[in-house]
C-alpha cells in the first residue's frame, strides 16, 4: 500500500505468547471492543468505512455511555497520532501493540498520513483473522480437476474455498450430461486408458453442477454447456476459426460440446458486482 510520495507497508507480527486458555479472556476483549466500535460507527459517532469489513454489526444496542466513551477514546488517540505524524512529516514508524481489528492504518491512508512503516502486533489467532479479512478478492480456477476427485473430496474442496475467502469466484470446466449413451462411451474410453472419472456422479446435468456449488457454501452458481457458449461467441471469431479447416461432422462437435460445461460461482463481493458476472 502506498501514498503518492512514499511507500508504506502494513506488517502484522504474531505475539510470541502462547495462545493457551489463560489468554482467552484477553483475546475476548478484542471482540468486545470491536463490537462496541462497530455499533458506535453505525449510529454516526464517527466515520469509519473499514470496520464493517472486520466486524459484523451486533443486534445488541450498546449503552450511550459506552458509545460516548469509545468516541472519546478514538478521537483522543487519533489526534495524538496525527500530531506525531505531522511533526515528523510521516518519516517515522508506528507499532500498534494489541491492534485487534483497529482500522487506523486505512484511515491514515485516506488522509495521506501514512508513516514510513506501520506494524501491528497481536495474538496469532487475531492477526490471522485480520489478514484473512484484508486479502484481495480471490479467483479459483479448476479445469477438468474436480471430476477426478470423489464427490466427497470435491465437496470438501469447494467448502474449504467458500469458507476460506470472503470475496471469491470459482470457475469450473468439466464434463456434464454424462448419464446418456455418449457420456457412457466417454467414460469407457477413459477407463481403457486407466483413467477413472471418480466424480462423474456430480456431472449428470447443469443443475447438478450448480447444486454442488450452492450446497457447499457458494452464494450464486451458473452453468452453461459448451455448445451454448460456442453459439454465444462473437460471430466474426466463429467465422474466422471455422474458415481455418473443414469440419465434416457438425453433429459430432455438438455432441461433444453438450458434454462439457463452464460453471462459475461467487461469494461476497457485492460491492464489486461479482454476482453480476455472466457469460
Q: Is 73 annotated as a binding residue?
A: yes
- What is the SS3 assignment for 120? strand
Q: Provide mean pLDDT across the span 220-234.
A: 93
Distance of CA 108 to the CA centre of its chain: 25
Does the structure show a pLDDT above 80 at 83? Answer: yes
Distance of CA 267 to the CA centre of its chain: 7
Q: Provide mean pLDDT across the span 240-251.
A: 89
> What is the per-residue pLDDT for 225?
93
Whole-number percent of the chain with pLDDT over 90: 58
Q: Provide mean pLDDT across the span 235-251.
A: 90
**Of 9 and 41, the one with more pLDDT:** 41
| 35, 180, 210 from 112: Cα distances, Å | 27, 62, 45
> What is the per-residue pLDDT for 22?
56
Contact indicator for 202, 148 with CB cutoff of 8 Å: no
Picking from 122, 101, 123, 130, the residue whose alpha carbon sits closest to that of residue 19 is: 123
Q: What is the pLDDT of residues 103-141, one digit of tens each?
A: 999 999 999 999 999 999 888 889 888 887 777 888 889
> What is the per-residue pLDDT for 166?
81
SS3 content of the chain, % helix, strand, coil (to 5): 50, 15, 35
Does the structure show a pLDDT above 50 at 38? Answer: yes
Residue-range domains of the chain with CATH: 17-276 (3.40.50.150)
> What is the per-residue pLDDT for 172?
94
Least confident of 24-33, 154-163, 170-179: 24-33
> What is the per-residue pLDDT for 20?
56
Q: Is 232 annotated as a binding residue?
A: no
Rounded to the nearest integer, the mean pLDDT of the chain is 87
> What is the per-residue pLDDT for 13?
46
Does the structure show a pLDDT above 90 at 159? Answer: yes
Instruction: Report d(CA 35, CA 220) in Å as an integer.
Output: 29
Q: Is 143 annotated as a binding residue?
A: yes
Instruction: Report d(CA 213, CA 13) in Å as an integer.
Output: 35
> What is the per-residue pLDDT for 12?
46
Q: What is the pLDDT of residues 10-19, one digit of tens each?
A: 444 444 444 4
> What is the per-residue pLDDT for 1?
35
Amino acid at each position: 500500500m502506498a501514498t503518492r510520495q512514499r511507500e508504506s507497508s502494513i506488517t502484522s507480527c504474531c505475539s510470541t505468547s502462547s495462545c493457551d486458555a489463560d489468554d482467552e479472556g484477553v483475546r475476548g476483549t478484542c471482540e468486545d471492543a470491536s463490537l462496541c466500535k462497530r455499533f458506535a460507527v453505525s449510529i454516526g459517532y464517527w466515520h469509519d468505512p473499514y470496520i464493517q469489513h472486520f466486524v459484523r454489526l451486533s443486534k445488541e444496542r450498546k449503552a450511550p455511555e459506552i458509545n460516548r466513551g469509545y468516541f472519546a477514546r478514538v478521537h483522543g488517540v487519533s489526534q495524538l497520532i496525527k500530531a506525531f505524524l505531522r511533526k515528523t512529516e510521516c518519516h517515522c514508524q508506528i507499532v500498534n501493540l494489541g491492534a485487534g481489528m483497529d482500522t487506523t492504518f486505512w484511515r491514515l491512508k485516506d488522509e495521506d498520513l501514512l508513516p514510513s512503516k506501520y506494524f501491528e502486533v497481536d495474538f496469532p489467532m487475531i492477526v490471522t483473522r485480520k489478514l484473512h479479512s484484508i486479502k484481495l478478492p480471490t479467483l479459483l480456477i479448476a479445469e477438468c480437476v474436480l471430476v477426478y476427485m470423489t464427490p466427497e473430496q470435491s465437496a470438501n474442496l469447494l467448502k474449504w474455498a467458500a469458507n476460506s475467502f470472503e470475496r471469491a469466484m470459482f470457475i469450473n470446466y468439466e464434463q456434464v450430461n454424462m448419464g446418456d449413451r455418449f457420456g457412457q462411451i466417454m467414460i469407457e474410453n477413459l477407463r481403457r486408458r486407466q483413467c477413472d472419472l471418480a466424480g462423474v456422479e456430480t456431472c449428470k446435468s447443469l443443475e447438478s453442477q450448480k447444486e454442488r456449488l450452492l450446497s457447499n457454501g457458494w452464494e450464486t452458481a451458473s452453468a452453461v454447456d459448451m455448445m451454448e457458449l460456442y453459439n454465444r461467441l462473437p460471430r466474426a471469431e466463429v467465422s474466422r476459426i471455422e474458415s481455418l479447416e473443414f469440419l465434416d461432422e457438425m453433429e459430432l462437435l455438438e455432441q461433444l460440446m453438450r458434454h462439457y460445461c463452464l460453471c462459475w460461482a461467487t461469494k461476497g463481493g457485492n460491492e464489486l458486482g461479482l454476482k453480476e458476472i455472466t457469460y
